[in-house]
Structure 1
């Protein structure tokens, strides 16, 4: 066994051990590098929720949320136009149950088109509070379109945390949008909310529909824990 004591062999063994340590370290960080689009959206939804729920600009949002049947969180709705405009983005739907609390998130997309004298671009982080059973069923049935029979209104702004004097709940859906860009406000009339069945299947399993996730609660993903916990006080 004397060959183990030669300098050359000791150096080779040291290099081998260092290589194994590096490989082990890379193995530990590989899951973060492989973040899926679905998980990225869940994480961004939590960040958006925490940003808006804690903003003085949306001081009445907690009051609306506590009265809501469900909530939709869209971390990034982008609108761009020059006379003809369009908007869209991906988000999640979560439903409250009196006994079980907030559900796991189901994936949706918002799509709309518009024609008007619009020049500029706008990106918004948006929370929709769904106040009526009619609106929730429309979302679950993939028949949600703002405007007409499904009323949407902007939630109040600028009242400060703790006001929560929510009295007027005439609309089916209220929007709380934090925007950046050249538009003065956000209008969602005419926008449609559509299920992302492919994303729900990837994240929860083949054949999974929003009904299974938010109402029946047949499926779950442990990586939603931070988002669910963020909503739990409301």
Structure 2
């Protein structure tokens, strides 16, 4: 009994001592800061690319990225509707420099609406691989329409781009997507991509524009280094 009491006393003493020693360290570290909206988008974009490149169904994706001029990653493209459908999602756009390195990300939103025989709901991870300077210039314009300002090929779910199109790179943009859910009808052609000014300002500083982020590289944020280093 005496031995047990002594052990309990010693245990409480050590616990208090550990708490006293750790308290200054915890106070110095400060509270853990939650990610801002643009920071969370960059994190999710990195996870999306990592997942798709590791998926055997998307074995061609790294090859396309290695030959790309730019990349637009939408971690969550949500689509749903009955007769009148709509889809949208915000993501990040990066351009490859002349030295082969990837730029810091600029924030863009994709939005589309359509009327037709549509029913269901779907959530997609989409990676748009931009293969031409024309596509990069188009996305840097004030408003970019897929299929009109640059040609796009959309591969079937689970296999990326169709095998017949994997070697010619004839389209300006190739879309690799992974879907959850079921949706009939609609297409990405005609969808518009436009700059998210507020997110660019929040992530960098007032005055940050897609051009001076991805082309001139006047702004940077080390939080995006993991995404940039992941891209082939």
TM-score normalized with structure 2 length: 0.83
1:113 is aligned to 113
Q: Which position in structure 2 is the counterpart of 1:211?
A: 211
Distance, in Å, in 1 between the alignment partners of 2:185 and 2:82 is 16
Q: 1: distance between equivalents of 2:42 and 2:158? A: 27
Of stretches 182-191 and 120-129 in structure 1, the one that deviates more from structure 2 is: 182-191
CA distance in 2 between partners of 1:127 and 1:108 (Å): 13
Deviations 1:73-126 (A, max 9, x none): 000000011000100001000111231501111111001101111110000000
Q: Is the 8 A contact 2:157 2:177 kept in 1?
A: no
In structure 2, what is the Cα distance between the partners aligned to 1:194 and 1:136? 13
1:182 pairs with 2:186: no
- Aligned pair in 2 of structure 1 residues 149, 209: CA closer, same or farther (>3 Å)? closer
1:50 maps onto 2:55 in alignment: no
Q: Does residue 33 of structure 2 align to residue 28 of structure 1?
A: no
1:5-40, CA deviations, whole angstroms, 9 ceiling, x for partnerless residues? xxxxxxxxx99x9589558537636234x2101100
Q: Deviations over 1:176-225 (max 9, x none)?
A: 00001112687211100000111111111111001111100111011111
- Does residue 65 of the first structure (1) align with residue 65 of the second (2)? yes
Equivalent pairs counted in the alignment come to 217
Q: CA deviation at 1:166?
A: 3.4
**Secondary structure in 1 matching 2:218:** coil
CA distance in 2 between partners of 1:155 and 1:123 (Å): 16
Query: What residue in structure 2 maps to residue 122 of structure 1?
Result: 122
Distance 2:43 2:157 in 1: 25
Partners of 1:83 and 1:115 within 8 A in 2 = yes
| Superposition map of 1:213-228 within 5 A | 213-228=213-228
Whether the 8 Å contact between 2:111 and 2:193 is mirrored in structure 1 is yes
Alignment of 1:54-93 (within 5 A): 54-93=54-93
Counterpart for residue 95 of structure 2: 95
Distance 1:114 1:22, change over 3 A: farther
Cα RMSD, aligned residues only: 2.8
Structure 1 CA distance, aligned partners of 2:94 and 2:135? 13
CA contact (8 A) 1:177 1:186 kept: no
CA 37–158 in structure 1, closer or farther in 2 if over 3 Å, else same? closer
Displacement after TM superposition at 1:138 (Å):
1.1
Shift of 1:148: 3.1
Q: Distance in 2 between matches of 1:37 and 1:149?
A: 29
Distance (Å, rounded) in 2 between the aligned partners of 1:203 and 1:88: 21
Structure 2 portions without partners, runs of 5+: 1-14
Going from structure 1 to structure 2, the CA distance change for 1:216 and 1:118 (only over 3 Å counts) comes to: same
